[in-house]
Structure 1
Amino acid sequence: MIHAQPAALERHPVDELPRPWQLVAGGLQHIAAMLAGVVAPPLIIGAAVGLGPKDQGLLITAGLFSAGLATLLQALGWWRFGSRLPLMCGASFAVVAPTLAIVKTTTPADALPTVYGATLVVGVLATLAAPYFSKLRRFFPPVVGGTVITLIGLSLLPVTLGWIHGTGEGADGSSSVPMKNLAAAAATLVVVLLAHRFLRGFARQLALLIGLLVGSLIAWPLGLVDTSPLHHAAAVGFVPPFHFGAPHFAIGAIVSMGIAMLVVMTESTATMMALGEIVDRPAEERTLADGLRSVGIGTVVSAALGGLACSAFAQNVGLVALCRMYSRYIVAMSGALLVLLGFFPVASSVVELVPKPVLGGAGLVLFGTVAAGGIRTLAKADLGDPVNSLIVGVSLFVGMTPTVAPAFYAGLPGPVATIMGSGISAGCLCSIVLYQVFRLRGSAAEPIAETS
């Protein structure tokens, strides 16, 4: 009797290795989607410290290089470091506020060394705390996880509007948007949608990159393409460790940065869980622990090289969902390309030529896709249950408050204001607390066991 041989196990899409040209094209697309976000924090902090053009460029180069290393570790993994998901990493906006506070309370010469000393300490602490922090996963049933994923997408809306407005990472609505900015953003949005609708195969997966290229060409005659970064960028350069001074360790700075690091870890946990849902590889407790270890050690390396605390980039989760490029090796290629950009500043300047209104047009698709993923997760919960509806409704309002009114929580004590100032963290904590309160009272909300 002949026994049939078992069929070979198919490789999960996350572990598939695309062709070299697909790796490069997909990697460039991820970089285009996240470059503005990873460059903005060092620009803000460099201006606050009063760095000259050369040191400002080095600060940006350090951010790109450290983001590349953190992304490589996160995507490829080594031992118990790295989630092994298609997860981009880079400088977190959560640490910008405490960093500016440190800058204001120290002398210019000690500002960056004090920032890096605090970042080194909290990076080590985050690495050690990762296995304990990862246990938060059991507090993320669909009604909580879906709310947080939805907030990730909605809270990025000001970033998109700020890009379209041309004011940076947020739009205050105090002035009208120039018509040429709207035209460039609308053209990019239309091209991305048309490419996604009519193209097939891998070309369809490059819809965002196609939109950015066509949008930039349209924006060029409108005067939106700024070529000045090319004139000041060095062809080759590298930031040596502790270029901006040996680290200083101040208790106040460490405490302030530690609170911000809690926000980074909470946001990274939510981002990994959202990405796990999208690629159909749920982020289990071990995956979260390994991913958070990578965030922690990436922060340590980043501080040594002149960068800021590293976080998982929610922007790129939307790109994964939109283009369905689930391979972690594509993201690893993005990390390798970021490392190369760290050695060749002029190359990063070429990528920076993409105008912010063009990024804004693409961002509408990216971040909207993340919010739609959250709604899809919420569909797994019983929203007909008034308790679940209450949890979602209240948490969304609490989480959206910092987005629509950034100064609303400013009057709270410093640590509380830092946590509540992040819409993702505020909404996440609110939904977890409400779920636990009602669950302990024996409500009809779904049990925690239904998280998978």
Structure 2
Amino acid sequence: MASPGSADFAHPTSIILSLGTILITLIFALAFSGILRQLAVMFGLLAGTLLGMALGSTDFSGVSHGPLFSFPQLLPFGWPIFDLSASLPLLIYAVISMAEATGQTIATAEIVNSTQNVQQAIPRTIRGDAVMSLLGGIFGTSLIITSGENIGVVRTTNVKSRFVTAAAGGLLILIAIFAPLVRLATCLPGSVVCGTAVIVFSIIGVIGIDMIAREPLHTPGKNLRAGDGAGHGNATYTGTRPVSEFPGGRTDGLWQRHGSGDVDGDSGELVV
């Protein structure tokens, strides 16, 4: 529903679109079965977009403008160079991302009932993220880590096949090359996407609570670690000071990493 301080923040139309998207998603998830329930998130996204069109919050005029195909550019920032000041923050972020990927892999294993091989799956997942980050860097992308929202999608759709995941990845590549589809995706109302994100990430939170509930937390050490991680992560999202207000107004390096609940929560856990 937009960022605090922006003109659209907490606008009634934005709230209606977000809540409408959530409501329609819940209706499909609770009132239907089979394929309709599995595609509840997609139907909520589509219905929210249609509602946005009805309320005049969606503009598709730019879809027809521009090239038909768009291909990634090799080395868009020039040949790689080694910069110590830039590498150190990324190395720290990479270590924290490993902790994040570990939790996401365990959560996914819980959903697909494959916890027996999770210890072998975790390093494979991290290696996969590393390889894709290396390949993606050739095309100018940032570090690539396992996306947390995928966990919510797997739980919502109950589709657990890796072949479906591979096919979806292939479709995403085709969509990225076919430029009109990319422009169409950018026309989706931000409030609708926000409503969908609330559903997906809330599911991840419920999965995390279920996992924590199975762990005995009566010992002081475990209580401290769990509380510290939750406190660090929540403080990032509930705090009032943006990163730009940190000492010297710095938004680069380590200061830029501070501002993500995942990063702050994981780093707090690692320190403790």
**If the TM-score is normalised by the length of the shorter chain, which range does it land in?**
0.7 to 0.9
Which of 214, 229, 235 matches 1:401? 235
Q: Which runs of 5+ in 1 are unaligned?
A: 1-164, 435-452
Which of 253, 264, 280 matches 2:97? 264
Name the structure 2 match of 1:366: 200
What percentage of aligned pairs have identical amino acids? 23
**Larger displacement relative to structure 2 (203-212 or 425-434):** 425-434
Which of 292, 297, 305 matches 2:131? 297
Q: What's the offset of the Cα at 1:312?
A: 1.0
Name the structure 2 match of 1:50: none
* Structure 1 pair 286–419 and aligned structure 2 pair: CA distance change class (3 A): farther
Q: What's the offset of the Cα at 1:176?
A: 4.8
Name the structure 2 match of 1:147: none
Name the structure 2 match of 1:330: 164
Q: What's the offset of the Cα at 1:404?
A: 1.6
Which of 256, 261, 265 matches 1:423? 261
Residue type matched to 1:222 in 2? L
> How do residues 138-287 of structure 1 correspond to structure 2 at under 5 angstroms?
165-167=1-3, 171=4, 176-282=9-115, 284-287=118-121
Q: Distance in 2 between matches of 1:339 and 1:327?
A: 19
Residue type matched to 1:275 in 2? T
Q: Distance in 2 between matches of 1:233 and 1:329?
A: 33
Question: Which structure has the higher relative contact order (CA within 8 Å, separation 6+)?
Answer: 1
1:349 aligned onto 2:187: no
Q: Could you say what the CA RMSD is over the residues aligned between the two structures, in angstroms?
A: 2.8
* Structure 1 pair 350–254 and aligned structure 2 pair: CA distance change class (3 A): same
Secondary structure at 1:230 match in 2: coil
Secondary structure at 2:194 match in 1: helix
Name the structure 2 match of 1:308: 142
Q: What's the offset of the Cα at 1:386?
A: 5.2
- Give me the TM-score of the superposition, normalised by structure 1: 0.54
Residue type matched to 1:423 in 2? G
* Structure 1 pair 249–297 and aligned structure 2 pair: CA distance change class (3 A): same
Q: Distance in 1 between matches of 2:159 and 2:36?
A: 11
Q: What's the offset of the Cα at 1:240?
A: 3.8
1:288 aligned onto 2:114: no
Secondary structure at 2:63 match in 1: helix
Secondary structure at 1:237 match in 2: coil
Q: Distance in 2 between matches of 1:350 and 1:323?
A: 24
* Structure 1 pair 395–353 and aligned structure 2 pair: CA distance change class (3 A): same
Q: What's the offset of the Cα at 1:431?
A: 3.4
Q: Retained in 2: the 8 A contact 1:411–1:417?
A: no
**Larger displacement relative to structure 2 (278-287 or 327-336):** 278-287
Q: Distance in 2 between matches of 1:253 and 1:386?
A: 38
